[in-house]
Structure 1
Amino acid sequence: MRIIAGSAKRREIKVPNAVVRPTTDRTREALFSIIQSYVDGAKVLDLFAGAGSLGLEALSRGAGNCEFVDMNRACTAVIEKNLTTLNLKGGSVVNADVLSFLKRARGGYDLIFADPPYFKVPGDRDFASELLAEDNGLNILSDDGLLIVEVDARHKPNIPTSWELVDQRRYGGCAILFLRKAK
C-alpha cells in the first residue's frame, strides 16, 4: 500500500497487524480525484482510521492538518510511525472510541473521512448509521465541509434528513458516500 500523490508520493504505508481493511489504492486515487479541490489547506478528521491511509493521503496532498481517531492501539501506533516515516507534518493521533470522541470534539473540519467496520449481516453493529445519527458529527463539520463515508456496497445506512447525500460511488465491494449538512 502506497501514497498515491503529493509530497510522499509512491512511499509505502505500513499497515497494522490488527484486523483492518485499508481503502485500496485504486479507491483512494478515485476518491481524491473527486475531492482534490477540498484538500489544500483543509482541516481533516480521519475516523475509524485503521492504517490512516485516507488522512495520510490528504496530508501528502496539502491538507493543513489531520486528526486520526481509532480505538485500536496497534492502529494508532502504526499511524504515528507512518507520520514520522513519511515526514508528514500536521498529523495528530487520538486513541479513542470514535462515537465517544465525537461527543467531545470541537468543530471546523473541512473534510471528515469515516471508514467504519462494515455492516454485513443482520445483527452486526451498523457503525455508519450510528455515525450519521450522531448530532455532533454535524456540529464539527464546517458549513461547506464534506463527510465521506465508506460502506459495504450492499449496505444502505440510515441517512437522517440533517444530511444531504450529494454523491455516491461504487468501487468493487465498497461504496463511498459524499454527504453535506442539509440546507
Structure 2
Amino acid sequence: MPKPSRGRPRPPGKQSADGVVRIIGGQWRGRKLPFYSAEGLRPTGDRIRETVFNWLAPYIEGARCLDLFAGSGALGLEALSRGAASCDFIDSQARSIEQINTHLSTLQCSLGSTHCQRAEHFLNANPATWDIIFLDPPFSQNLLEPTLRQLDDNTNAARFIYIEVDKNTPYIAPTQWREVKQKISGQVRYSLWENPIE
C-alpha cells in the first residue's frame, strides 16, 4: 500500500513545478523559473548554457533569436537576459508555451513572442531570417534531421545555429554551414555552426 503523504496537502487545482531553470547571466542573472514536465523536455544545463553563451558573447547583443523546441524556454530566456533584441519561442506543447508566457510576464519582458505549433509548420509559414537559432529537440523523436533539411532550403535562415543532441546521434548539417565549436558533456554533444552569409 502507498504510504500516506506527510506533507501539507496541495490546494485544489494547484500543481508544484517539476523543476527549476536558473538564468545564469545578464540582467536576470540568478532568477529561478519553474517548469513542468512534458514529453522529451530536458532543459539545457547551467554549465552547457554558460559555455554556449560564452561562445555567443560577441554576437548576442541586439540579436534576433529563434528558440525552436523551446521546452522550458531556458535558451531563449538566457539570450534575452544577455541583451538579445528579440526571441521567438516555438513549441508544440501548449503547457510549455503557457509557462514561457508566464516567465516573460514575471520578468516584465516584451521582447519574446511565443508560438504553439510544430517547428516544421512554423518554419514553413515564416521564411524569415534570424541571427541565432537554438536547436535542442527531444532526443528520442528524430526531429533534428528534418529541421536541418528545412533550414538547408533557406540558405539565409540564420548567421549562427546552436545544436544540442545525444552524443551518439549523427546528423548532417546544412551544406553552407561550418562548425566553429563543439563539446561533449555527459550524454550531450553540443556545437555552434556559422553560416558565412555575405
Partner of 1:159: 173
Matched, 1:140 2:157: yes
Q: Is the 8 A contact 1:67 1:93 kept in 2?
A: yes
Give yes or no for contact 1:59–1:65 (8 Å, CA) kept in 2. Answer: yes
SS across alignment from 2:43: coil
Cα shift at 1:33: 1.0
Per-residue deviation at 1:88? 2.5
Identity %: 36
Compare CA radii of gyration and give the structure with the larger one: 2
Give the letter aligned to residue 79 of structure 1.
I
Residue 104 (structure 1) shift: 1.5
Query: Whole-Å Cα distance in 2 between the matches of residues 90 and 21 of structure 1?
Result: 24
Total equivalences in the alignment: 175
CA distance in 1, matches of 2:153, 2:174: 13
Residue 21 (1) aligns with residue 42 (2): yes
**Structure 1 residue 80: Cα displacement:** 0.4
| Counterpart check, 1:65 vs 2:86 | yes
Question: Aligned residue for 2:147?
Answer: 131
Name the aligned partner's letter for residue 133 of structure 1. R
Partners in 2 of 1:136 and 1:94 — Cα distance?
A: 22
| TM value normalised by structure 1 | 0.89
Shift in alpha-carbon separation, 1:65–1:50, aligned structure 2, 3 A: same
In the alignment, the residues of structure 1 paired with residue 181 and residue 91 of structure 2 have an alpha-carbon distance, to the nearest angstrom, of: 26
Q: Deviations over 1:144-179 (max 9, x none)?
A: x10101100111212242332222111221111212
Equivalence map 1:161-176=2 (5 Å): 161-176=175-190
Where does 1:51-90 land on structure 2 (aligned, <5 Å)? 51-90=72-111
Q: TM-score, normalised by structure 2?
A: 0.82
Unmatched 5+ stretches in structure 2: 1-20
Distance across 2 between alignment mates of 1:47 and 1:62: 19
> Going by fraction, where is helix more abundant, 1 or 2?
1
- Secondary structure at 2:190's aligned position in 1? strand
Contiguous gaps of at least 5 residues in structure 1? 120-124
Cα RMSD, aligned residues only: 1.6
CA contact (8 A) 1:115 1:150 kept: yes
Distance of aligned partners of 1:117 and 1:16 in 2 relative to their CA distance in 1, 3 Å threshold: same
Aligned-partner Cα distance in 1 for 2:31–2:154: 32
Matched, 1:11 2:25: no
Q: Write the distance in 1 (CA, Å) between the matches of 2:110 and 2:153.
A: 27
